[in-house]
Structure 1
Amino acid sequence: MATGESEIRGDAEGGDLGLTGAISMALGGMIGGGIYAVLGVVVKVTGALAWLSFVLAGLVALCAGYSYIKLNQLSQPEGASPTYLEWFADSSTLAGMAGWTLLFGYVGSMAMYAYAFGSYAVDMLPMEQVFGLPLRALLSLAIIGVFVGLNLVGVEESGWVEIVLVVLKIAVLVGFVAFGLWFAFANGGETATGGGVELGLGGLGFEPIMAAAMSFVAFQGWQLLMYSQGTIKDHSDTNPTAIYISIPTAVAIYIGVAIVTTSIVGVALVSQRPEVALATAASEFGGSMGHFVIALSALFSTASAINATLFTSAQFSDRLIENELLPQQLDPKSPDEFEEGDHLPKRIIVLLGLLTAAFTVVGSLEGITSFASLTFIVVFGAMSYLALGQRDHEDVSAIPPAVGLVGTVAFLPMMLWHLWSAQRGVFYTVAAITVVAVVVELAYFEIDSLGGKTDDETSVRSD
């Protein structure tokens, strides 16, 4: 079973992965690389209130998780985001556009992880260029190439290994928080804030909401569970429990990491080097060894996050092709091959790798993070809206979907306003990519409709 492996299907009995494995998959998807990549970006926007931004983003993500769970329970057969749109909105065009939007989000996520990997690797090396070329970009490309190659040949990772690795990653971050808090209280005069911890409550404004929107990509990893139902034992009961445990756990870790980093290092220094914020903080109380441990953990975590997301994206793309929501040319195969659970869509893997490489080379960390967060805000908001429409069902509460919808509706303009006012170049880049993506999606599905296919004829199948 590969890290984060997933198939968009809803087998009645499910696989062998239990609650512990499901929680590990969800947590691994969230803290595997997200905190190393987004922390500095969030601190640059909202300073010492970074912890509050993670609370807000986590709350909206938890409500979106509730919406996914309820939609999954009500849809027949159980499925994922495109399935829900097909089932509840009765539109294969919307289903296809949601699927494409998620794919763009996953590409952005992988580019963010690759960018962070390259940044932490350069931070550990005595050079920044090789033959006049930026070493960060070269290392980012290299790690993408490694995992594209491994996925092409089918190298896999067992479920128990994933559990152990997630435990180790959590242990490193919890240790970072524990030692950091001890240092802040025991050596207050030596910290950037001059003593204790800094929560930033004296400067509340709209910035935490803006930063929450930009950090939203760090909370999308639990979606792996919705796309992995065929591998999870009793997924109808296991997935909700795993989601409700993993998201608050990730939020708690993010809060601790944010408070320790801004208290010990200070907002100014984090803003100068946002891509390696954790390693910089660790060096303050752990010296060179602390810096090395965090940097090594960052390399490993971001690398494994690339692998998990690439595998998931490829399987997700394959299912979209099966349901005629992506061109069949991306993964030509016989009808019998659609039933094979171990099929590896090689063309898709290569295409996703190339798109990720392009993003991570030409994009900035803020731009990549913002674009990826934007896609998940849109999709999570759509799922919250659909779940809110099902509030008449006895077991569907209107409150979580409403909170999720209001949160995503608030996040979107706040993030765009911040980019427009503070990072105009990033705004134009994100806007251009978004417009191109939407135009391509509409063109593809409108041409498909003009060719004689209707929404009724193009149905999303999740068998």
Structure 2
Amino acid sequence: MDATQPELKRALGLLSLTLYGLGTIIGAGIYVLVGAVADRSGMSAPLAFLLAGVLAAFTGLSYAELGQRLPEAAGAAAYAREGFKSHWMGRIAGFLTLAVAMVAAASVARGGAGYLLTMIDIPLPIASGGVIVLFTVLACWGVKESVYAAGAMTVIEVGGLLAVIVIGGPALADLGVRLPDIWPADLNGWGGVMGGAFLAFFAFAGFENIVNMAEETQDVGRTLPRAVVLSIIISAVLYMLVILIAVLSVAPDLLAQSDAPLCLVVDCEKSTMAFFAPVALIATLNGVLIEIVLMARVAYGMARRGWLPKLLSDVHAGRRTPLKATLAVGAIVFALTSFVEFQVLAKATSAMLLLVFLVVNLALIRLKQVDPAPHLAFRVPNWAPVAGAFSSILLLGAEVLA
């Protein structure tokens, strides 16, 4: 690294980092994927989300420890490099992480179209492209400003989910009676749960992005693992309540046919619910900003290691952000958003993400063998990365065999 380059600014505490984590997890995943998961799993969609959340938690614990061991913006690329002592493994993990973030950002932008079109009728490329340009400029402006803006939007999107819970809450009174409908009756039903869990995994994607902010986090040894764990727990609780209410109040086939499935739950056509579509749109588009911030940090970290052109490692002297890396990834996302459909992007995101998680968990297993690191403020039990690696293989295998 060039000694004359300024360092990234450590400006993030537990609250802002947890909000950032929630913003990366909550968004298009729950607001849009409810219908896609219901299409695969039917009334068992809550089990698909539950399974995806449990399996994601294993890998989340691995990231929480790795973020302390190697507090670098390169994230998974650095973990694979150190765990396998291989530059090539680092490069593969880094490029996969970049690909995941780019495809995820594009899918989020496309996924928000259903809610956008309930308000105005404009061409999707113009709307999504304008959002990407706007958020790329904001990401260039500064990490604190970007994360605070994402945090504000996270509060709004969580508010939207709470509105679903409050309005649709009475449907939970039928949970006891309808549990037999939710529990699969045969192997075909469980196959649908596994297929739904593969898609639902996309809804939990994002906790891994927190570690990429390690170089900009205050007291990283304590703050980072707490933010990872809190983000997963809060999002999992919200998801389970929302998906239960959705399938109990609206037939799964109707959810599957809708581009704005949660609007069916709260009835967006009512004048009193006019606020919900804009809230859902903010929730889906918030992920675009967060993914752009993430991708810029990964590209910056990889460029510092010489795996990408050196100019991407430049830090703007005034803003102290990776300006050139941010502009580069923003341009790529802009192009992706214009050409690929949401479900295709979501499936590709889940598949690539599971490959990254497999590599990261295996890297932690090897690092624990070489250095148990007793000095860390937070260490996960040895079985956690093993469970994370196994669960990644399980979901990938289920999708391939489906």
Unaligned runs of 5+ in 1: 1-8, 419-463
Counterpart of 1:426 in structure 2 is none
Residue by residue over 1:200-225, the C-alpha shift from the partner in whole angstroms, topping out at 9 and shown as x without a partner, is 11444122222212222222222232
Tell me the CA shift for residue 53 of structure 1.
Answer: 1.5
**Take 2:105 and 2:223, find their aligned partners in 1: how far apart are those partners?**
27
Residue by residue over 1:104-158, the C-alpha shift from the partner in whole angstroms, topping out at 9 and shown as x without a partner, is 1011111111112222111223x4xx6xxxx334322332233234445669727
Q: Mark the structure with the bigger radius of gyration.
A: 1
Tell me the CA shift for residue 79 of structure 1.
Answer: 6.3
Match of 2:77 among 66, 82, 85: 82
Residue by residue over 1:222-276, the C-alpha shift from the partner in whole angstroms, topping out at 9 and shown as x without a partner, is 2232111233221111111221121021111111111111221211111111x31
Counterpart of 2:202 in structure 1 is 217
**Take 1:75 and 1:151, find their aligned partners in 2: how far apart are those partners?**
24
**Take 1:216 and 1:183, find their aligned partners in 2: how far apart are those partners?**
25
Q: Say whether residues 1:385 and 2:370 are aligned partners.
A: no
Q: Say whether residues 1:371 and 2:353 are aligned partners.
A: no
Q: Say whether residues 1:244 and 2:229 are aligned partners.
A: yes
Q: Say whether residues 1:261 and 2:246 are aligned partners.
A: yes
Counterpart of 2:3 in structure 1 is none
**Take 1:226 and 1:272, find their aligned partners in 2: how far apart are those partners?**
36
- Whether contact under 8 Å (1:184, 1:197) holds in the other structure is no
Match of 2:163 among 175, 185, 189: 175
Residue by residue over 1:386-413, the C-alpha shift from the partner in whole angstroms, topping out at 9 and shown as x without a partner, is 2223454365522211211111001112
Counterpart of 1:313 in structure 2 is 295
Counterpart of 1:403 in structure 2 is 387
Q: Say whether residues 1:342 and 2:320 are aligned partners.
A: yes
For residues 26 and 396 of structure 1, do their structure 2 counterparts lie closer, same or farther at Cα, with a shift above 3 Å needed?
A: closer
**Take 1:66 and 1:332, find their aligned partners in 2: how far apart are those partners?**
29
Partner amino acid for 2:113?
G
Match of 1:277 among 249, 253, 261: 261
Match of 1:93 among 69, 88, 95: 88
Helix, strand or coil at the partner of 2:128: helix
- Whether contact under 8 Å (1:24, 1:166) holds in the other structure is yes
Tell me the CA shift for residue 379 of structure 1.
Answer: 0.7
For residues 161 and 112 of structure 1, do their structure 2 counterparts lie closer, same or farther at Cα, with a shift above 3 Å needed?
A: closer
**Take 1:332 and 1:237, find their aligned partners in 2: how far apart are those partners?**
27
TM-score (structure 1 length as normaliser) = 0.75
**Take 1:15 and 1:116, find their aligned partners in 2: how far apart are those partners?**
33
Residue by residue over 1:436-457, the C-alpha shift from the partner in whole angstroms, topping out at 9 and shown as x without a partner, is xxxxxxxxxxxxxxxxxxxxxx
Instruction: Out of 406-415 and 392-401, give the one that drifted further.
Output: 392-401
Instruction: Out of 108-117 and 165-174, give the one that drifted further.
Output: 165-174
For residues 377 and 77 of structure 1, do their structure 2 counterparts lie closer, same or farther at Cα, with a shift above 3 Å needed?
A: closer
- Aligned residue pairs total 386
Counterpart of 1:233 in structure 2 is 218
Within a 5 Å distance, the mapping from 1:45-124 to structure 2 comes to 45-75=40-70, 80-124=75-119
Partner amino acid for 1:228?
M
For residues 263 and 10 of structure 1, do their structure 2 counterparts lie closer, same or farther at Cα, with a shift above 3 Å needed?
A: farther
**Take 1:162 and 1:353, find their aligned partners in 2: how far apart are those partners?**
16
Helix, strand or coil at the partner of 2:145: coil
Residue by residue over 1:31-82, the C-alpha shift from the partner in whole angstroms, topping out at 9 and shown as x without a partner, is 1332123222211111122221222221222111211222334448796211
- Whether contact under 8 Å (2:62, 2:364) holds in the other structure is yes
- Whether contact under 8 Å (2:112, 2:281) holds in the other structure is yes
Instruction: Out of 214-223 and 73-82, give the one that drifted further.
Output: 73-82
**Take 2:75 and 2:21, find their aligned partners in 1: how far apart are those partners?**
15
Tell me the CA shift for residue 338 of structure 1.
Answer: 8.2
Partner amino acid for 2:44?
L
For residues 340 and 217 of structure 1, do their structure 2 counterparts lie closer, same or farther at Cα, with a shift above 3 Å needed?
A: farther
**Take 2:391 and 2:165, find their aligned partners in 1: how far apart are those partners?**
28
Helix, strand or coil at the partner of 2:274: helix
Q: Say whether residues 1:144 and 2:139 are aligned partners.
A: no
Instruction: Out of 160-169 and 312-321, give the one that drifted further.
Output: 160-169
Q: Percent sequence identity over matched residues?
A: 21
Unaligned runs of 5+ in 2: 1-5
- Whether contact under 8 Å (2:79, 2:364) holds in the other structure is no
Tell me the CA shift for residue 95 of structure 1.
Answer: 0.6
TM-score (structure 2 length as normaliser) = 0.85
Residue by residue over 1:305-333, the C-alpha shift from the partner in whole angstroms, topping out at 9 and shown as x without a partner, is 2112112212221221121111336x385
